[in-house]
Amino acid sequence: MIPASRSEAVLQPARSSDVDEHARRLVGWRQDYSQLSPGRFDGTVLQASLGSVALLQERTNQRLRERFVVPAGELVVAVPIELSGPAHWGDARLDADAIAVCRGGEPTDLLTPNVFGIVGFAIPATGPAVDALEPGVPRVLRDRGCADAMRALFAQGLAAARRGSARDGRVEVGHGQDHGDGDGDPVRARFAGLLADEVGGVAARIASGGEGTVEVPALARRLSLVRRAEAFVEAHGDAHDPAAPTVAELCRATGACRRTLQASFVDVLGIGPSRYLRALRLNRVRADLKRDAASVSEVAVRWGFWHLGRFSADYRAMFGELPSETRARARGPGPQSRAADFG
């Protein structure tokens, strides 16, 4: 998602074949991505700034669970540009007609479809309507015309940022500073101000009348069930208790039968609860392989993979490489992956 506080901006797409590397490219946020669908990851991030507005475009090709924190004092307005199915940000559904706004300061979760693209703006969070937003809880407006207008506004803002960078021979930095509109270009300065006003107006409109939850009762119930199951997994599968919950435990924790749990997970995530739990365990193995001195077999057993041949095959199917290749890459040059701290 959209990093508002940042120390750099990238005016050309930065491509990653590793989901953790992709998450690290999002400057200024705390985020933790888990890959839920099998296949080699491919993602791009493009960032820029114009006056007090941060711009970002993100594209991914796998189903992901993204957990992140929008910085306190910031507000994000985002609109999808490519979807193979609906995304779910908190309890709000994102489709082609949706514009979402989220106030920073608390963790939030985004579930993406296999093919996902989004553009967004980050601005300072000001105004009484914005103050009424609960931090970390997105609200959504469904308006095709407004969504199309925001996509066009993003393209115009990005073009203006690129023109300024090409003229100055530099990439602009900072948020709320006079880097982008105090450089002697009055036309660009006016556009930066208009961009901030337009985004702020849309944010206030959504804050005043947007949807806080999905509007289809059956989908709302299923999404709520999946969120409760996710919370249970999060509370019982951290580094201090690596024994992942079972589907039976999820049923007991949520009060749902297996059939209801299965239907809810397939509707919301596109996979059943057993595949979801297995995907999370594989992601945790991957994270440990990048930062742990233990052997591949020790890490696999730690996360409940007892048949090492089957584990290697499942790991390769999920991430497009063998566990040993992940370990070798992590020990090469460059920073190692670290899990985001949401405490």
Any bridge partners for residue 141, and if so which? 99
Assess whether pLDDT exceeds 60 at residue 144. Answer: yes
With respect to residue 89, please indicate whether it lies within any of the assigned structural domains: yes
- Give tens-digit pLDDT for 329-339: 887 755 455 55
How much of the chain, in percent, has pLDDT values that exceed 70? 82
Residue 49: phi, psi to the nearest 5?
A: -140, 150
Residue 178: Cβ within 10 Å count: 12
Q: Pick from 159, 189, 209: which residue ends a domain? A: 209
- Give tens-digit pLDDT for 176-187: 333 444 455 676
What number is the average pLDDT over the span 195-222? 76
For residue 176, what pLDDT is reported?
A: 36
> Residue 309's domain is classified under what CATH number?
1.10.10.60
Do residue 35 and residue 118 come from a single domain?
Answer: yes
Do residue 190 and residue 222 come from a single domain?
Answer: no
Reduced to 3 states (helix: H, G, I; strand: E, B; else coil), residue 111 is strand
Q: What is the number of structural domains in the chain?
A: 2
pTM: 0.82
Closest CA to 156 of 182, 124, 128, 119: 119
Do residue 35 and residue 175 come from a single domain?
Answer: yes
Do residue 221 and residue 204 come from a single domain?
Answer: no
Do residue 193 and residue 264 come from a single domain?
Answer: no
- Give tens-digit pLDDT for 268-317: 888 999 999 999 999 999 999 998 788 999 999 988 899 999 999 999 99
Q: Pick from 162, 193, 209: which residue ends a domain? A: 209
Do residue 252 and residue 112 come from a single domain?
Answer: no
Range of the domain at 287: 217-330
